[in-house]
Each structure stands twice: as C-alpha cells, then as structure tokens.
A and B are shown apart, each in its own frame.
Chain A
Amino acid sequence: MATLDQPELRESLNKLLTDSRPRLERVLRHFEVPPEDAEDILQDAQLTLIYKWDKVRSPESWLIGTVKKKCIMYWRKRRGSLCDAVDTAILELVSVPQAPPQEKADLASDLNRVLSRLSSRCRSLLRLRYGLGYGPNEVAEQMGYRSSSIRKVTNRCLAALTRQLLAVGFHKESEHEPDPS
C-alpha cells in the first residue's frame, strides 16, 4: 500500500520541487519553451510524480527526465500541427475552383518560388501533390516509393516546405534543403 498519506512526505515533495527548480529551469530554457506553455508541462510532470511517488525511486532524475521528454513532445506536436496547417492551407488554396486566373497564376508562381528552394525530390513530390492533385498512393507509385514509406517522406518534405516558408530573412537565398530520403 502506498505511503502518500504520511505527513513527512509533504516536506520531501516541497524540498524536491525547490531543489529541482534550477535544473528544470535550465531544461525549459534549453528547449526554448515559452513560459505560458512551460506551466502545463511542469504541472503535468509534477502531478504524475505525486501519483507515482511510491514507485519512483529517484524522484529528481525522474522529474528532470520527464520534463525533458515533455519538452521534446511539445515541439514535435507544435511542428506537426504547423506542417499540417501549411499542407491543408495550400491544398485548399490550389483547389479553389472559382479563383480568378490572375490570382491562380500568382499562387502558382509564389508556390514555385518556395518549392524551387527544396531538394529535387521534395520539389517533385510536392508538385505532384499540389500541382496535379495526386493522392499519397499515386505519388508513391509515380515516384517509386513503397506506399508504407510515402507518409514519412511526405512529412519530411512538408517540414522542409514549412522551414522555407518561415525561414525568409534567416536563410540565404542560395541555401537549399537537403534530400529527405
């Protein structure tokens, strides 16, 4: 049976939270988590520790490791949702049926400019996706990928595209994305 109802544990927890704070802050700074999101990460890790107090034999190491992992997951989720948003938005933009011809031409030109900075493989893949409206299986067939791996390759190309979109002002014009495969 757990021993979490013993009063001295409250003191231990309090000490742990105080002692671990400098290391936790370094982790949050290292991963550049904005304070408003850092609070969720910290709270979640600390609550989990309280529930598992009896099973965790090295609480400080566990807490630091858990917060690190949550920081990684935080950015992975943010990165994934940003790539999804970019992809969905571009798919919707290129499929507007009643768009005026000039607007369509401008969009194609802007998209080509961004795609031209990507690796040739990503450029081909995303042109099939956005330009010709190919689905993942068709892209896989056209480019000679297995359908089981096309999702991973597409995600890498979307990440490269997103980087390019946001990298304006940070990258030199000549910098090109490496091949994703």
Chain B
Amino acid sequence: MSRTHPERATLLQLGRAQLPRSEVRALIRHLLRGCSSCAATAAAMFPRDVVPGAARRTREADYDAVFARAEKLAMDRQAEVADEHAEARELLATLAAHPFARQRMLVGQSARFRTWAVCEGLIDAAQEAAFHDAERSVELAELAVAAAEGLDATAYGAERAHDLTARAWAALGTARRVRSHFREAAAAFARAERLLRLGTGDPLEKATVLLSKASLMGDQRRFDEAFRLLDRGAALACRAGDRHLEGKALIGKGLFLGHSGDLPGAIDALRRGLELADPAVEYRLVVAGHHNLIHYLLESDRVEEAEASFDRARPLYRRFEDQLGRLRVRWLEAKLALATGRLAEAEAGLLAVRDEMLARDLGYDVGLVSLDLIQLHTRQGRTAEIRRLAEEILPLFEARDVHREALVALSLLQRAAVRERVTVGLVREVGGLLGRARTHPGPRLRDAG
C-alpha cells in the first residue's frame, strides 16, 4: 500500500463517491496512518457536523455562473412546458370527444397523451367531476393514473414523475371515496403514499395527499385519524408558506369536529380556516366552510354570530351559479329567520324551499326542511301541523337507508307529536342528527329528549 500522499483530485473524488474501490482502500489506509494534511483537504469537502472546524472553500465561492446557467435552463424549460400545456388542451379536447373505453385505449397506447400537462389536466377534471358526477370522476382519475404511470421519467425526472403519479392515485382515492367505495379508496391512498416516498419530498404534495386521505377517514367516522392527518397536513402547508392549503386543512377539521359533536371546536377551526383559505383558489371549499360554520353556530344557539357570518358570506353566495346552490342559500336564510324569531318570514321561506325540493325529488332534504317547519310550529303551538308533518317525514327517511338510531329518534319525535309533547330542543336534536346522518352512517343521539 502506498505511503505517498494521494492527489487532491483523488480526495475530491472520495467526497463524491466516484473512486474505484481499490483507490478508496488505499486512501483510507493512508488516512488511518494519521496524515493530517490529507485529512484536512478531505474534511473541507464535508459539512461542519462531519468535521468541526474544517476550513471551507465555499466562503469565497462564486455562485454567479451557477445562477446564470440554472436560470437559463429554467427559462428554456419553461418554454417547452408552455408548449406542452398548449398541446395538452387540444389532446384533452380530443379525449373528451370519445367514450371512456376509447379514452382508456388512447391514453394506454399513445405516448402523446402520457405527458405531465395531460395528466394534470385529467387530475383537475377528476377533482371537478367529483362534485357532480362521481362515476365520471373515477373514470377521469383512472385515465390520470394511466397517463402518470406512462410518463417518461427521463424527460421529467423520476422523482417528479413519482410526485405526479402519487397525485393521480390520490385523485382516484378521492373519486372512489365520493362513490363510497372506501376499501378501494384506501388502497389508492396507500399507493399514493408509497409513491410519495420515492418522489421529490415536496411538502405540498404530501400535504395534499394527507388532506384527501383525511376526508376518507372522516367519511368512515375515524375522526382521530382524520384529525391527525389534517394537523400534519396543516403543519406542512404552513411550513411551505401555503396559507390556502393550511386553511383547507382547518376547514376539513372543522367539518369533522362538527360531525363528531364538538361544535365549539368545529366553529373555532372553521373560523381559523376561513381566514386563510382563498375563494379564488377553491370557491366551493370556502362556501362550504361558511355554510358549515353558520349551521354549527345555529345549532349552538349563537344566532347573532350566525347572522354576522351569513352577511360576510353573502358576496360568495351570490356567485352561486347552480340553482341547487341558490336553493340551499334560501333554506339557510329561512333557518336564520326562524332562529331570530321572524317566524312569518321563516315559514314562507321554508314552505317555498320545501316545494322546490319536492319538485326536484330531493326527499331527504324535504324531510330536513319539514323538521325546521316542525320547530317553527312548536314555537307557535300549532300541534295539528306538528302531528301531520311528523307522520309525513318518517317514510321520507325510512326509504333512504337512514341509520337505525336516527329512525329511532324520528319515532320518538312522532310519538311526542301524538302526545303533543314536542319541544324545540328535541326537534333540533333530531334535525342535527339526521343532517349528519346524510353523509355519515351511525350517528350518536346525544339527547333524545
């Protein structure tokens, strides 16, 4: 083994793990003898925690050329990405003109469709479809997964490609969740998490997947797990400086706190979330946040705060384009009128909303509006109307696979109506229970009165 000093270039290569094994062996043997000059040269290539006190070359390093080259490459690549996005618009329009089977074949067989921009477009479309067409959302997310898994890792970078593939799987998990296919949704999220571990480590990607998975946990009433995921997601978003995503996590937490019966906690989380979330980014999320906040405030008898929140949300509500959304706002206005004692206004509003819901065959909502009317009649002592409505609503919920416990509560209400012993508290309790039972099976009756 050589006792001469290794070349400086050899020491540099040791730092980069670029030396052949025989040379590493010779070099380590040399260092084991205690050569201080070689150790000092090698040490300068490692951070302070490897060798405290070692002199660095970076103090006087000139990064100008580094930045110039990196920025030129970034601008060149931006032009390529812009072209890809322009082409993706046409490709997505082409895809949309075909039935799903043909779409799947095109994405599977043609590399033109397996680009970053097409995949992102499909993910966005799947997320949008989840609000109005869950089945189509699943199809679009499946296409996104196929496009992502066919990405050219050399062109995009393997870690970046893993990030996008994880996002596509998370979109599929969400679409499956919306269809109530919970087991398949969980499998998709597990796949997304595995892919993230191979990705760039981008905290925003991770936070996004965690938030989507939290929604699955919440829908399954696994609230503790949902809260843990939402807290982690919020912390990641906060560290990455993404206020909107942090707000989204808080709004999600508020919703599930409400579902779990913690109304003060729900109100607090929703308020904090709404301060951060940006309606320009996710309009529906912010409207839903306001809507739930107002409902929870009403349920908590914090009527003035509910009214103030409604006033703040009014500009957002005005932007509702769909009639069903507008109908729900009218319902909320009638509930506020009821809570503030404007009973005539409340009755007119509730009856109008109820008629329109009947016309749209929204049986479950008709039942909930009827409960609001029962509450109104209870305040007015109109026992005959209470009895009639209580008889009408039981079949509406029975026909819709409502959880047994909610039906028991309804029967209690019906019996109380017959005995003319209905109270506002009982009606509100049953209403809250059925409102939560719509999306979550197995609610717990806090007080059946």
A positions within 8 Å CB-CB of B:
1-6, 9-10, 13-14, 17-18, 21, 24-25, 28-29, 31-35, 38-39, 42-44, 46-48, 50-52, 54-58, 61-62, 65-66, 69, 73, 75, 78-79, 81-82, 84-86, 88-90, 92-93, 103, 107, 110-111, 113-114, 159, 162-163, 165-171
Is the beta-carbon distance between B120 and A39 smaller than 8 angstroms? no
Name the contact of B53 in the complex, choosing from A5, A17, A85, A171 (C-beta under 8 A): A171
Q: Provide the bound-state CA to CA distance between A26 and B25, in Å.
A: 36
Q: Does B416 contact A (CB under 8 A)?
A: no
- Please tell me the number of chain B residues within 8 Å of chain A, measured between CB atoms: 86
Given contacts A113-B34, A163-B51, A168-B36, is CB(A92)–CB(B25) below 8 Å?
yes
The answer to whether B34 touches A110 (Cβ under 8 A) is yes
Q: Are A43 and B28 touching (Cβ within 8 A)? A: no
> Does B54 belong to the interface (CB within 8 Å)?
yes
CB distance from B251 to the nearest CB of A (A): 16
Of B25, B86, B243, the residue contacting A5 (CB under 8 A) is B86
Q: How far is the CB of A38 from chain B (nearest CB, A)?
A: 5
Give the distance in Å from the alpha carbon of A71 to the alpha carbon of B29 in the complex.
Answer: 30
The 7 closest A-B pairs by CB, nearest first: A61-B241, A169-B36, A89-B28, A58-B241, A81-B17, A170-B53, A42-B70
Query: Which residue from A4, A17, A167 sits with its C-beta under 8 Å from B51?
Result: A167
Chain A's closest residue to B122 (CB) is A1
The answer to whether A51 touches B160, judged by C-beta atoms less than 8 angstroms apart, is: yes
A34 to B47 CA separation, bound complex (whole angstroms): 11
Q: Which of B13-38 contact A (CB under 8 A)?
A: 14-17, 19, 21, 24-25, 27-29, 31-37
Question: Is the CB of B71 closer than 8 A to any CB of chain A?
Answer: yes
Main secondary structure of the interface of A (DSSP, over half): helix
Closest residue of chain A to B53 (Cβ to Cβ) is A170
Provide the bound-state CA to CA distance between A163 and B61, in Å: 24
Stretch in B101-109, B196-204, B219-227, B339-347 with 4+ CB within 8 Å of A: B196-204
Q: Known A5-B82, A58-B240; judge A47-B58 contact (CB<8 A).
A: no
A65 adjacent to B203 (CB under 8 Å): yes
Decide if B202 touches A166 in the complex (CB within 8 Å): no
> B228 in the interface, Cβ–Cβ < 8 Å?
no
Measured CB to CB, the closest approach of chain B to A27, in angstroms, equals 10
Residues on B with beta carbons closer than 8 Å to the beta carbon of A1 = 85, 88-89, 92, 120-121, 124-125
Bound-state CA distance A124–B79 (Å) is 59
Question: Contacts A51-B116, A57-B242 known; A78 to B46 CB distance under 8 Å?
Answer: yes
Q: Is the CB of B204 within 8 A of A55?
A: yes
B399 within 8 A of A: no
- Which residues of chain B are within 8 angstroms of A47 by Cβ–Cβ distance? 73-74, 77, 157, 160
Q: Which residues of chain A are near B28, meaning CB under 8 Å?
A: 85-86, 89-90, 93, 165
